[in-house]
Structure 1
Amino acid sequence: MISFSYDYLALAAAACWAVASLFSAHAARHLGAFAFSRWRMFCVSLMLWAATLLTGGWSSLSSTSVGIMAMSGLIGIFIGDTALFAAMNRLGPRRASVLFATHALFSAVLAYLIFGEVIQGWTLVGCLLLISGVMLAIFMGKRANDTHAWEQDNGSPWPGIALGLLAALCQSIATLMVKPIMMDMQAPVDPISASAVRMSTAFFAHLLLLWCGWKVAKPLQRINWPIFGMVALNALLSMGIGMTLILLALRHGEVGMVAMLSSVSPVLVLPLLWLLTKRSPAFGAWLGAAITVLGTVVIVARH
Structure 2
Amino acid sequence: MAAYWGEIAALLTAVFWTVTSMAFESAGKRVGSLAVNLIRLVIAFFIYAVYTQLSRGMWFPFDATTYQWFWLALSGLIGFVIGDLLLFQAFVVVGARIAMLIMALTPPFTAFISYFMLGEVLSGMNWLGMAVTIFGISLVILKRENSAQKNGQKIRKRLTSAYSLPGILLALGGALGQATGLVLSKKGMGTYDAFAASQIRVMTGIVGFAVLFVFMKRYGRVWAALKNGAAMKRITLGSFFGPFLGVSFSLLAVQHTKAGIAATIMSIVPVLIIPPAIIVFKEKVNWKEVVGAIITVLGVAIFFI
TM range (shorter): 0.7 to 0.9
5+ residue gaps, structure 2, are 144-162
Asked if structure 2 preserves the Cα contact closer than 8 Å seen for 1:33 and 1:86, the reply is yes
Q: Is it true that 1:100 corresponds to 2:107 in the alignment?
A: no
Q: Deviations over 1:28-62 (max 9, x none)?
A: 12221211101111111110121112222635422
2:298 aligned residue:
294
1:143 aligned residue:
none
2:201 aligned residue:
198
Match of 2:173 among 160, 163, 166: 166
Asked if structure 2 preserves the Cα contact closer than 8 Å seen for 1:34 and 1:217, the reply is no
1:273 aligned residue:
277
Q: Secondary structure at the match of 2:273?
A: helix
2:224 aligned residue:
222
1:7 aligned residue:
7
TM-score of the pair, normalised by structure 1: 0.84
Asked if structure 2 preserves the Cα contact closer than 8 Å seen for 1:2 and 1:252, the reply is no
Asked if structure 2 preserves the Cα contact closer than 8 Å seen for 1:16 and 1:237, the reply is yes
5+ residue gaps, structure 1, are 141-152
Query: Which residue identity lines up with residue 111 of structure 2 in the other structure?
Result: A
Q: Which has the larger radius of gyration?
A: 2
Asked if structure 1 preserves the Cα contact closer than 8 Å seen for 2:136 and 2:292, the reply is yes
| Overall identity of the aligned pairs, in % | 28
1:30 aligned residue:
30
2-side partners of 1:66 and 1:113: how far apart? 21
1-side partners of 2:48 and 2:138: how far apart? 33
TM-score of the pair, normalised by structure 2: 0.83
Q: Secondary structure at the match of 2:121?
A: coil
Count residues with an aligned counterpart: 282
Query: Which residue identity lines up with residue 239 of structure 2 in the other structure?
Result: A
Query: Which residue identity lines up with residue 175 of structure 1 in the other structure?
Result: L
1-side partners of 2:18 and 2:34: how far apart? 21
Give the direction of change, closer, same or farther, for the CA distance of 1:218–1:206 in structure 2 (3 Å limit): farther
1-side partners of 2:101 and 2:89: how far apart? 14
Query: RMSD across aligned C-alpha pairs, in angstroms?
Result: 2.5
1:139 CA displacement: 5.5
1-side partners of 2:197 and 2:139: how far apart? 35
Worse-superposed segment, 250-259 or 163-172:
163-172
Query: Which residue identity lines up with residue 178 of structure 1 in the other structure?
Result: S
Give the direction of change, closer, same or farther, for the CA distance of 1:91–1:125 in structure 2 (3 Å limit): same
Q: Secondary structure at the match of 2:221?
A: coil
2-side partners of 1:68 and 1:116: how far apart? 17
1-side partners of 2:229 and 2:188: how far apart? 38
Q: Which structure shows the bigger proportion of residues in strand conformation?
A: 2
Match of 1:248 among 237, 246, 252: 252
Match of 2:69 among 62, 66, 75: 66
1:87 CA displacement: 2.2
Q: Deviations over 1:181-233 (max 9, x none)?
A: 33x3xxx21111111111111112222333x2523564288221211010010
2-side partners of 1:32 and 1:278: how far apart? 21
